[in-house]
Amino acid sequence: MGVVEAPKAVVEKLISNSPVVIAALNSPAQTIVAGENTAVEACIGSARAQGLRARRLLVPFAFHSPLVGPAAPKFAQSLRTESLCPLGRSVASTVTGEMLLPNCDLISLLARQITSPVRFMDAVRAAEVEGIDL
């Protein structure tokens, strides 16, 4: 995984011809990418060549990418053995970037988080619109 100090649109162009994916949108100027190590290294090199700040994230897996996809069904299966309570308060999802409905399928949503980009900015905006004081 790596971090590129650039907006989503810039990073999308940067990774358009590679197997690297956007793993998180942390801020308007910080995008996290994930993929196989060599592809992420190439992405970081390309970003730096364009004058962007970029670096590796020292993590053991390419979280929020298809590379960890095989874990999602096993994770969901494990969650099905737990008793999850219904949502008791307003929750902004970093999977959808929206406020969750009280009857949402939390297990599916949590399993999707494994391979879906973290939409942190969207979740913060949704919470703000909802009137939640962050």
Model pLDDT for residues 88-105, shown as the tens digit of each residue: 889 999 999 999 998 899
Task: Please give the residue range of the domain that contains residue 20.
Answer: 1-63
Q: What is the pLDDT at residue 88? A: 86
Q: What is the pLDDT at residue 64? A: 96
pTM above 0.85, yes or no: yes
Q: Which long-range contacts (CB under 8 A, 24 or more apart) does 98-102 make?
A: 98/122, 98/123, 98/126, 99/126, 99/127, 99/130
Q: How far apart are the first and last CA of the chain?
A: 28
Q: What is the pLDDT at residue 110? A: 94
Beta bridge partners of 97: none
Look-up of token digits 């949108």: 25
Same domain, 1 and 46: yes
Could you give the number of structural domains in the chain? 2
- Strand locations in the chain, DSSP E? 2-4, 21-27, 30-34, 54-56
Same domain, 131 and 100: yes
Choosing from 17, 32, 63, the residue where a domain stops is: 63
Same domain, 105 and 133: yes
Parts of the chain with a pLDDT under 70: none
Look-up of token digits 């399928």: 105
